[in-house]
Amino acid sequence: MNDSALITVAAEQRRNLVGLDRNELKEALVAIGEKPFRAKQLWHWIYHRGATSFGAMTDLGKELRVKLEEQFVIARPAIARQQTSTDGTRKWLFHFADGQKAETVFIPEEDRGAVCISSQVGCTLTCRFCHTGTQRLVRNLKAPEIVGQFMAARDSYGEWPTPLDERRMLSNIVMMGMGEPLYNFDEVAKALKIIMAEDGIALGKRRITLSTAGVVPEIERCGRELGVNLAISLHAPDDDTRSAIMPINKKYPLKDLMAAVRNYPGLTNARRVTFEYVMLKGVNDSLAHARALTKLVAGIPCKFNLIPFNPWPGATYECPDDATVQAFADLLATAGFTAPIRTPRGRDILAACGQLRTDSERRSAKEQRLRDAEERTRAQATRAEKEHADT
Stretch that binds ligand SAH, among 15-23, 124-132, 134-142, 286-294 (CB under 6 A): 124-132
Selected range binding ligand SAH among 12-20, 41-49, 126-134, 151-159, rule: CB under 6 A: 126-134
Task: Provide the CA 201 distance to its chain's centre, in angstroms.
Answer: 18
Helix (H, G, I), strand (E, B) or coil at 351: coil
* Window 287-316: residues binding ligand SAH (CB under 6 A): 307, 309-310
**Stretch binding ligand SAH (CB under 6 A), from 15-23, 32-40, 123-131, 186-194:** 123-131
Asked if 147 and 235 count as a contact pair (C-beta separation under 8 A), the reply is no
Q: Would you put residue 379 in left (φ > 0), alpha (ψ -120 to 50) or beta?
A: alpha
Instruction: Compute the distance between CA of residue 28 and CA of residue 381 in angstroms, rounded to an integer.
Output: 57
Nearer to ligand SAH, 82 or 184 (CB): 184
> Across the strands, what pairs with 73?
16
- DSSP alpha helix (H) spans, 177-275: 185-196, 216-221, 239-245, 248-251, 254-262
Name the β-bridge partners of 306. 277, 341
335-354 residues in contact with ligand SAH (CB under 6 A) are 353-354
Pairing of strands 120-121, 139-140: antiparallel
> Distance between CA 105 and CA 174 in Å, rounded?
10
From the CB of 82, what's the least distance to ligand SAH, in Å? 21
Q: Does 285 bind ligand SAH (CB under 6 A)?
A: no
The nearer residue to ligand SAH, 84 or 310, going by C-beta atoms, is 310
Residue in 46, 57, 107, 130 binding ligand SAH, rule: CB under 6 A: 130
Exactly one of 115, 276, 297, 346 binds ligand SAH (CB under 6 A); that residue is 276
Name which position in 29, 75, 170, 213 contacts ligand SAH (CB under 6 A).
213
Nearer to ligand SAH, 218 or 276 (CB): 276
Nearer to ligand SAH, 46 or 290 (CB): 290
Catalytically active residues are 103, 353
Question: Residue 233 interacts with ligand SAH (CB under 6 A)?
Answer: yes
Phi, psi of 232 (to 5 degrees): -115, 130
The region of 77-85, 210-218, 251-259, 379-387 touching ligand SAH under the rule CB under 6 A is 210-218
Kindly report the number of other CB atoms within 10 A of residue 309's CB atom.
23
Q: Which is nearer to ligand SAH, 180 or 285 (CB)?
A: 180
| CA gap 279, 321 in Å, rounded | 10
3-state helix, strand and coil shares in percent for the chain, rounded to the nearest 5 = 40, 15, 45
Query: Does residue number 180 form part of the binding site for ligand SAH (CB under 6 A)?
Result: yes
Q: Which is nearer to ligand SAH, 83 or 310 (CB)?
A: 310
Q: Does 211 bind ligand SAH (CB under 6 A)?
A: yes
Query: Counting every residue, how long is the chain?
Result: 391
User: What is the DSSP-derived secondary structure letter of residue 9?
Assistant: P
Question: Does 172 help bind ligand SAH (rule: CB under 6 A)?
Answer: no
345 phi/psi in degrees, rounded to 5: -110, 155
With CB under 6 A as the rule, give the number of residues binding ligand SAH: 16
Q: Tell me the pairing of strands 139-140 and 172-175.
A: unpaired
Is residue 212 at the binding interface for ligand SAH, with CB under 6 A as the rule?
A: yes
Binding interface with ligand SAH (CB under 6 A): 127, 129-130, 176, 180, 211-213, 233, 276, 278, 307, 309-310, 353-354
